[in-house]
Structure 1
Amino acid sequence: MPETLLAADETVGEPAVNIAIFGVFVLITLVITFRASHNNKTAADYYAAGRNISGTQNGLAIAGDYLSAASFLGIAGAIALYGYDGFLYSIGFLVAWLVALLLVAELLRNTARFTMADVLAFRMRQRPVRMAAALSTLAVCLFYLVAQMSGAGGLVTLLLGIEGEAAQALVVVLVGALMIIYVLVGGMRGTTYVQIIKASLLIAGALVMTLWVLTEVGFNLSTLLGDAAGNAGEGVDVLAPGAQYGATSTSQLDFVSLGLALVLGTAGLPHVLMRFYTVPTAKDARRSVVWAIWLIGIFYLFSLIIGYGAGALVGPNEIANAPGAVNSAAPLLAFELGGTVLLGIIAGVAFATILAVVAGLTITASASFAHDVYASVIKKGDVPPNGEVRVARITAVVIGAIAIGLGILALQAGLNIAFLVALAFAVAASANLPTILYTLFWKRFTTQGALWSIYGGLIACVGLILFSPVVSGAPDALFPDVDFSWFPLKNPGIVSIPLSFFLGWLGTVLSKETPDSDKYAELEVRSLTGIGAEKAVPH
């Protein structure tokens, strides 16, 4: 095992070099964002980048949106500490794209205009469904944002040697401020370009680290896996299932719940769905998902080598004791392989990853409020010129402030960000996916069914999370000193997802509303052919 790299209160590498590389990434992306802002003249420009992003570009941007800090930092750390069980995150995240490709990508692009609610409200009563969809969108985005903010704080804490909760909180505030600037200025077009650059850098950086690790073991996978197994903690077999989820029947059930959330959650993630509205044709929507699957799949193969490489070359004890704990595995491996320079580059890429993802999440949440709540519910479609975009920008500031506060809490609790993202997937799979599928494929589906499905799934999922060991009653909980947890699972998907499907069905069969068959026929034609996709959704 290598020598211990650092104690819990030390830094890694040279803070001055790390800051310089961070600064270069931020400066380049800010310049791109400001240049893109000149084209933001209408709501379509701000929300959907004028619908002129190609399928290949959008595939890269989707990969940039999807390969978050959880993918790079959280999964690498989970594999380093738990091996096989950690890699299950990668498998779940990747398989989820098949659901998105086969069931929702093309149909949503053809049906909606700017947001997920455009689809859900198409043949329902507009105001209640839009309000429900906006609330579920905000909930998913906030869970996701908390993970990214926590990851940013942990990463910068590790690399700059920042000590004390106040200093770490300041880092999260600065990341949040940058995120808000990206969204206020660049809109979806600026965010798209940042995500394309970030995806390219992230995959290139992961490739370099993968090849470097393989070079260290003579390109012999057996040697790498054997070294990782030899360095594993006492009683932990990183080459077999069960290191994280196999100890008890509860943890095994937790794993099934996690798998459901990961596989079904992607097709309900609002910030991923919103990317489909930026392409000009349905063919481009399909092409973008195929590109995304290839890029994401390749990256997750790299993450397997990086994770086991961190376990073999750094060691789980060093990772667990570092600032950022499990999330520090990839940066520590970069330092072990290439010293300060490689560490600075990889950390800069990870930082750019976080900034790009939080920008995409924030624009999705703010667009949902401005388009679905302000324009459709409050103003009933009577919106002054540029009024919707102005409200979206104000909302971005508010959402950013909330995300900063929650991110500080998560950072100080030391939660694995891959795990936090899995909670966002559970909310998306519970509140959004059943309603999307019923709306697209069930002719009898009614407004009451949609509301029961969205609110039922959202309340059940968030409620079970609040009363789970994630929030209280465990050493790694958000509030470890109190215990009001009665739900034993850390991920509620196994309960909340079937419940949402059931409530959607029950609300529909008990409804006295007569479904609008003409509207369903129009929705079916539009979703399958794209005819009328550019028209505004009626209010």
Structure 2
Amino acid sequence: MTFLLAALIVLITLGVTFWASSRNTSAGDFYVAGGKISATQNGIAIAGDYMSAASFLGITGLIALNGYDGFMYSVGWFIAYLTVLFIVAEPLRNLGKYTLADMLVYRLKDQRVRFYAAFSTITVSTFYMIAQVVGAGSLISLLSGGLLKPTLAIPLVGLLMIVYVVVGGMLATTWVQIIKAMLLMFATIVMSVLILARFGFSFSDLLGAATDKNGAAFLEPGLKYKNPLDLISLCLALVLGTAGLPHILVRFFTVPTAQDARKSVVVAMGLIGAFYIMTALMGNAANVLVGKDTIVAANPAGNMAAPLLAQALGGGAGTLGGEFGLAFVTAVAFATILAVVAGLTISASTSFTHDIYNGVMKGGKANEQEQFKVARMATVAVGLLSIVLGLLAKDQNVAFLVALAFAIAASANLPVILYTLFWRGFNANGAVWGIVGGLAVTLVLIALSPNIMSVDPPEKTTGRHPVQRTAIFPLENPGIVSIPAGFALAALGALLGKRRPEDERNFEEMQYRAYTGAGMDGTVAAHD
């Protein structure tokens, strides 16, 4: 049953992909669907891009296993969109064309910035993508009864991802994300209603049952993050990282105007807010109705809590309702992964092709056919890289993996975006220092953290630890150190860099264009 439902979703999305392929007539069509997506469509697609395997599988599992600490992921990711709405969406749409680097280069006029911004985009997308393919491996292993191990399932997802993007480009990716968002919202609403019906439509009764089963500490901070700084660091990364995520930011280039970009965020926030509220229901219900032991037995990191909950709500293992619930939710989660991975892949391949190949290597002179060819080759390369890295990280919790991507985005991208928009004295040297320094500090701290180093036996951890020794950096998420470091390094670089006579004029032009839209030519931003 699960195979049939998953295959049906794959066939529908492949049909959409081949329909979209005939509409890819230019590089702009491939990169951003020609800027012709409506605000409502884009808002649903943003939600589809954002409500990833980390949200559906990872957060449900984290709440089921860790209570309050797990729910902080939901809170952080929802609040993050306020930063996107009020600060980033409109100026990004007015200044950019295809990528985050476009916006930075519009003001800073330095190809070094384009290169390093593209490198950061690819790094963030890669970390985020690892989480999706890891989730896919767990799902397919579960739905096949263990016949298809993650080592076979992860390459399958990578292959589908390559087909979606190479054939259909951004238009296909957008519609795959819309279909996935609608399926996911339907599944979570049905599950939430069934959960509330089990507990007399009282959330308090559900929490009471969770407390009875686990003790009062389950609803208090400290079950997963013993050190309060760990929780603060995580929340900083989640709240600030969204405004620096390339695969989310690129969606603002698919709409005709800056006003549509803002409307897209409002539509997305409505869907995302409702979804994250429902994760609290699903996580606590999984703890009560399925149990920690069963969840951990299916997947030590808790990634299978949502499918197992659907099975329990439908009547349990062996019943028609239970097996259909498991099959449907697993198939929807699989669609979720395919959609998000497609969005990440096109973001990374667009950044490489438009910024590094065309912008830096070819000086902006590559023709449409060249860019098409290179974009597709880059897509295949990104897909293969994600498969390899996914196999290496297949035992990690997917929500945790995505939180690291958010830390990189908040440390390397956000400081440069904010300084570019609001600091008159900022310059290209500051952007390079901010991106490279923020990226380096974050990656080093991750390498020295308990995620990589641990002396605990495997059964007490969420995944593999390559270095068996006490962690040098004690926090799981580096945000509390790496984010201030990113801001400080960008500021220091700007102060040490040379001021050019044209910097003042570039800032004035950027401000005028960012908040008025003056100079926009049709559906995309015109460059000097």
Could you list the per-position Cα deviations for residues 11-53 of structure 1 after superposition, in whole angstroms to 9, with x for gaps in the alignment? xxxxxx1111110010000000110111111111111111111
Partner of residue 176, structure 1: 158
| Matching residue's letter, 2:428 | T
For residues 436 and 533 of structure 1, the distance between their equivalents in structure 2, rounded to whole angstroms, comes to 20
In the other structure, the counterpart of 1:446 is 427
Question: Share of identical aligned residues, percent?
Answer: 52
Deviation at 1:481, TM superposition (A): 5.8
Equivalent residues in 2 for 1:353-364, closer than 5 Å: 353-364=336-347
Q: Which amino acid aligns with 2:197?
A: T
Please identify, of 42-51 and 118-127, the stretch whose mean Cα deviation from structure 2 is larger: 118-127
Q: Is the 8 A contact 1:122 1:537 kept in 2?
A: no
Aligned to 1:532: 519
- Residue 304 of structure 2 aligns to a residue whose secondary structure is helix
- SS of residue matched to 1:381: coil
Which residue of 2 is the match for residue 283 of structure 1?
A: 259
Structure 1 residues 238, 279: CA separation in 2 closer, same or farther (over 3 Å shift)?
same
Of 302-311 and 472-481, more deviation after overlay is shown by 472-481
Please state whether the residue corresponding to 1:122 is helix, strand or coil.
Answer: helix
Structure 1: tracts of 5 or more residues without a match: 1-16
Name the residue aligned to 2:94: 110
Q: Structure 1 residue runs of 4+, over 6 Å off?
A: none
Counterpart of 2:446, as a letter, is I
Aligned residue pair count:
513
Moved more, 18-27 or 153-162: 153-162
In structure 1, what is the Cα distance between the partners aligned to 2:373 and 2:507?
33
Displacement, 1:236? Answer: 7.0
From 188, 205, 222, give the equivalent of 1:242: 222
Equivalent-residue separation in structure 2 for 1:74 and 1:384 (angstroms): 42
Is 1:38 the equivalent of 2:22? yes
Match of 1:295 among 249, 271, 274: 271
Task: Provide the C-alpha distance between the structure 2 equivalents of 1:453 and 1:537, rounded to a whole number of angstroms.
Answer: 27
Contact 2:416 / 2:434 at 8 angstroms: preserved in 1? yes
Q: Which range moves more in the overlay, 525-534 or 54-63?
A: 525-534
Matched, 1:322 2:302: no
- Alpha-carbon separation, structure 2, partners of 1:419 and 1:434: 23
Query: What is the DSSP-based 3-state SS (H/G/I as helix, E as strand, rest coil) of the residue aligned with 1:305?
Result: helix
Matched letter for residue 370 of structure 1: T
Map 1:107-256 → 2, pairs under 5 A: 107-162=91-146, 167-232=149-214, 237-245=217-225, 247=226, 251-256=227-232
Q: Which moved more, 1:377-386 or 1:169-178?
A: 377-386
Indicate the larger mover: 379-388 or 202-211. 379-388
The 3 A distance-change label for structure 1 pair 518 and 337 is: same
Greater mean deviation of Cα atoms: 354-363 or 442-451: 442-451
Query: Is the 2:169–2:346 contact (alpha carbons within 8 Å) kept by the matching residues of 1?
Result: yes
Q: How does 1:290-439 map to 2 (within 5 A)?
A: 290-323=266-299, 325-338=301-314, 339-411=322-394, 414-439=395-420
Shift in Å at residue 493 of structure 1? 0.8
Question: Any conservation in 1 of the 2:519–2:526 contact (CA below 8 Å)?
Answer: no
- Of the structure 1 ranges 515-524 and 424-433, higher mean CA displacement relative to structure 2 is found in 515-524
Instruction: Note the residue ranges of structure 2 that are not aligned, 5 or more in a row.
Output: 315-321
Name the residue aligned to 1:273.
Answer: 249
Q: Distance in 1 between matches of 2:470 and 2:230?
A: 19
Residue 522 of structure 1 corresponds to 509
Which residue identity lines up with residue 397 of structure 2 in the other structure?
Answer: N
The structure 1 residue matched to 2:496, chosen from 510, 516, 536, is 510
What amino acid does structure 2 have at the position aligned with 1:124?
L
Q: Which residue of 2 aligns with 1:86?
A: 70
